[in-house]
Structure 1
Amino acid sequence: MHAPSGFWTILKPMHSWIKPIANHGSDEGSHGSAPAQQGRVMTGGFGNQSQALQRCVEGFIRQYGHEPEWLSHAPGRVNLIGEHIDYNDGWVLPTAIDRRLAMAARVIDRPEILLHSEQQTHARIFSLEDAWQPKGDWTDYLIGVMKAFLDRGARPCGLELSLASDIPVGAGLSSSAALECSIASLMEELWEHRLDPVEKVILCQQVEHAFVGMPCGIMDQSIVTLAKKNHFLLLDCMDRSHQHIAVPSNFPTLLILDTKVKHALVEGAYARRRQECHACLEALGRSSWRGAEDMASTKLESLPYPARARHVISEMARTLQAVDCLQKGAWEALGDLLYQSHASLRNDFEVSCPELDWLVEALQSLGPSAGVWGGRMTGGGFGGCVVALVEPLQVERILGRLQSGFHAQFGHPPDGFVSTPASGCQIERPGPLHRLDHPDRFGRTPRRLSP
C-alpha cells in the first residue's frame, strides 16, 4: 500500500513532526548521531531513536493504508550495577539507553486489536470479546497489559497497532519492559484509565509474573518509566523510592557489547536464583536482606546457598559505593566495582557464560591506559550484554580489538554500540496532522504535563 499524498513531507525529517505531549517522569532531548555498519560502533541518540519511530510509522502505513494517530515509544535499559538485587529489596543503578521500541496506533470502531510488527507480514487479530490467555510468545507482554487494564475497569476500544524496535531481543536490555510500558502508556490514553507512574510500573511487573510467567523484580519497568535524560536512577527496590543521579560532563562513554548469546530466563534458572535467595532469608528468619550487611562469614556459610547470599550482600554495598564514585568522577574506582560485580555474578551467583567472561577479561586486560575504566555483564545473565566504561576517543579502537579477539574465540564478533543516558517512555501525537489540543476522531485528547 502507498502512503497518503503529502504524508512523506511530514514524515521526513522525523524530528519536524514528533512533538512530545506526555513525558512520564523524563526529560526528552536529542543528540544527533548515526548508526555505523555491523562490526563497527553503532551510535545511539536521536538518530537511532528516529529510525525506530520512522520504521514504525512506515510499517503502519504499509499495513493499514492510512496514518497512525498516536505514537508511544520506550527505551531499553542498561544496569550499571546492582544485578539480581531488585527482587532482593536492594539498590540498583540503571539508566535508559537511546535505543527504543516504538508503537503506532489508531482507534477503530470494531472490537478488535490488530497487531503488526516489522517482523511480520500480516497483522495478528485479537478480539476484545474473547477471554485472553497466554500464548507463550512475545504477544503475551502486550496482551497481558491490555488484560490488566480491562480487569481494572478501563474503557476498551478497537485498535490498529504497529511496532518496531532497535532494542536487541534476549540481550538483557529490557526489550520486554519497553514493550509493556509502551502499550501501557497507550492504554492510559486510549482506554481512558490513568495510572500514576508507580502504579504503571507495578501493573507491568504483575503482568510478567502472572501472565508471562517471569518472576522479575521492579527495576526494568521502573527505569523505562522514570528515566531522565543524562541521569542514572538510584532505585530502592524495597520502598520503591528513587533518586536521579546526574551524569558529570566528563562521564566516560557507555559501550554496550552484545554477545548474541540469547538468554531464556523464563526457562527456570532465573526463578531458581530467586528461590535460593528466599531460602537463605527463611533460614535467617528475616524478610529482607537490608541490615544483613555485617553478617559474620561463619553465619553466612551456614546458609543453604551461602554464595548466593554473599553476592546479594556485597552487590548492595557496591551499588551505593558506585553512586559515590559517579558523583565524584572517580572512574577507575567505579570500574573496579564493575569488575568486582562481574566476578561475584560469575563465581557466587553463577549467571555468567564464557562469552561474557571473555569480554570482561579482555576489557580488564586493556585497562585504563587503553581507555577502558571497567565493565561487567548486565541484565539477568546466561548470555546477553556487557556494559563497559570507555574513553570516547578510544571507542572504535577498543571495539575493533574486542571484536577481532572474540571472533577468533567464538566464531563471530559481538555487536557493539555506544549510548548516553536517555529519557523514559513517552506518548505523542503526529505533529501537523493532529493539533495537540484537539481530540482524535473518537474524542480522546492527550493528557498534558503539569507546568
Structure 2
Amino acid sequence: NKVRAYSIDKKDLVEFGLNEEDAPRTSWAKYIFGVCREMIKRGVKVEGFDTAFAGDVPLGAGMSSSAALESTYAFALNDLFNGNVDKFELAKAGQATEHNYVGVNCGIMDQFASLFGKAGSLIRLDCRSLEYEYFPFNPQGYRLVLIDSVVKHELASSAYNARRQSCEAVVAALQKKYPEIKCLRDANFDMLKEVKNNVSAEDYKRAEYVIAEVQRVLDVCDALQKGDYETVGQKMYETHYGMSKLYEVSCEELDFLNDIAKESGVTGSRVMGGGFGGCTINLVKDELYDNFIAKAKEAFVAKFNNPPKVYDVIISDGSRKLA
C-alpha cells in the first residue's frame, strides 16, 4: 500500500506509505502525502498508486504552486478512488495539508482558486462563508503579465505566520470593545483608531493594510462590472503600496519592478502572492507591452545583475479531468 511519486521537474522519486507515521521528509512529497491523509480523513479509500507530475507554475514565486499541487491531487484522488467529496471540501483538504503536514497556517483562497477557477473570470471569495461570485475579466486592449524577480521565498520560513499573529492581536484588542468582531474584516478605521494605543505600532500598520484591502476588493469588483480597467489598475498600485509600506511583505526587487511599471505607463502593478520575493502582476496596455518588458529586463539586470523571467497570463479553468 505504497505511493511512488515522481517529480519530473526535480527528477526525484519518493516512495511512502499511507499511514500517519509514513510521512516523507522530502519537501515536495509532503504535499502529496498530506493530501492523501486528508482525503482518507474525508472517507476516501485511498490505496497505493504510482504518479508523476510536472508543471509550469514558477516555484516560490507567489504563484501558489503548492496549492496547485494540492488541488490537483485532491481532485485526482477523489476521482481515482471514487470519492464523494465536493469541491469545497477538496479545497479544505488542500488547506489542511498546509496546516497539518507543511506547517503553514494559510487561508483557503489559493486552493479555492485552483479548484474553482473559470476562464475569462476573476473570483470574489468570502473566506468565512465560502460564498463566491465570478466577475468578468475581458480586458480588451490590455494584457496581464507576470515579472518574476527570481528572488525565492519559502512561505513556511517567511513572516507569513507573524503577519497573521499581528492581525489576531489587533482583533483581540478590538474584541474588548466590540465583542462581535471575529476578524479584521468586521472592523473599520474608526474602530481601529480607538485601539491604537492598545496595540503595537507594527500590528496597527498591518491592520490598516487589511482593512483598506477589503474595501479595495469591493472597489475592483465594481470596476470589473463596469469594464473600468483604469480603476482596477489604480487599485493594484494602492495594494502594492500597502503591502510594501504597511504590511511589509514586499522587497527591494519587487518595489523596483513596481516603480519601473509606473515609469513605463503600466495601468496597474502589484506584488503577487505572499511577498518576500516572487512576482509582480501587471496590467499593461497592448501598445506599451513591448517597451515595458524591454525596460523592465534592462533596468533589473543593471540594478540586480540577474535577468527577471516574464510570463504572459491566461485566466483558465481550475482543476479538471482532461480525458
What TM-score do you get using the length of structure 2 for normalisation? 0.92
Please give the alpha-carbon distance, in whole angstroms, between the structure 1 residues aligned to 2:242 and 2:248.
8
Relative contact order higher in (CA < 8 Å, ≥ 6 apart): 1
Residue 62 of structure 2 is matched in structure 1 by 172
Paired residues of 1:255 and 1:418 also in contact (CA < 8 A): yes
What letter is aligned with 2:210? V
Give CA deviations for 1:264-323 in whole Å, capped at 9, x if unaligned.
Answer: 220141000000100000011132223312425632532331101100110101111111
Paired residues of 1:134 and 1:144 also in contact (CA < 8 A): no
Residue 183 of structure 2 is matched in structure 1 by 288
Please give the alpha-carbon distance, in whole angstroms, between the structure 2 residues aligned to 1:162 and 1:124.
10
Residue 347 of structure 1 is matched in structure 2 by 245
Give CA deviations for 1:201-252 in whole Å, capped at 9, x if unaligned.
Answer: 1111011011110111110000000011000001111211000111235262
Change (3 A) 1:121 1:171: closer
Residue 225 of structure 2 is matched in structure 1 by 327
Which region of structure 1 is more displaced relative to structure 2, 314-323 or 287-296? 287-296
Give CA deviations for 1:341-363 in whole Å, capped at 9, x if unaligned.
Answer: 11111111110000000000111
Residue 260 of structure 1 is matched in structure 2 by 150
Please give the alpha-carbon distance, in whole angstroms, between the structure 2 residues aligned to 1:391 and 1:278.
39
3-state SS, counterpart of residue 321 of structure 2: strand
3-state SS, counterpart of residue 22 of structure 2: coil
Give CA deviations for 1:169-220 in whole Å, capped at 9, x if unaligned.
Answer: 0000011011001111111022222211111111110110111101111100
Please give the alpha-carbon distance, in whole angstroms, between the structure 2 residues aligned to 1:291 and 1:229.
31
Please give the alpha-carbon distance, in whole angstroms, between the structure 1 residues aligned to 2:258 and 2:220.
18
User: Which structure features the higher share of helix residues?
Assistant: 2
**How much does 1:156 deviate?**
2.7
Matching residue within 371, 383, 388 for 2:282: 388
Report percent identity of matched pairs.
33
Give CA deviations for 1:366-388 in whole Å, capped at 9, x if unaligned.
Answer: 22xxxx20101110000011001
Change (3 A) 1:125 1:134: closer
Please give the alpha-carbon distance, in whole angstroms, between the structure 2 residues aligned to 1:117 and 1:294.
47
Aligned length: 315
Matching residue within 309, 312, 315 for 1:418: 312
Please give the alpha-carbon distance, in whole angstroms, between the structure 2 residues aligned to 1:419 and 1:130.
38
User: Which structure features the higher share of strand residues?
Assistant: 1
Matching residue within 358, 365, 379 for 2:273: 379
**How much does 1:157 deviate?**
2.8
Please give the alpha-carbon distance, in whole angstroms, between the structure 1 residues aligned to 2:195 and 2:260.
32
Give CA deviations for 1:24-57 in whole Å, capped at 9, x if unaligned.
Answer: xxxxxxxxxxxxxxxxxxxxxxxxxxxxxxxxxx
2:193 aligned with 1:298, yes or no? yes
Change (3 A) 1:330 1:212: same
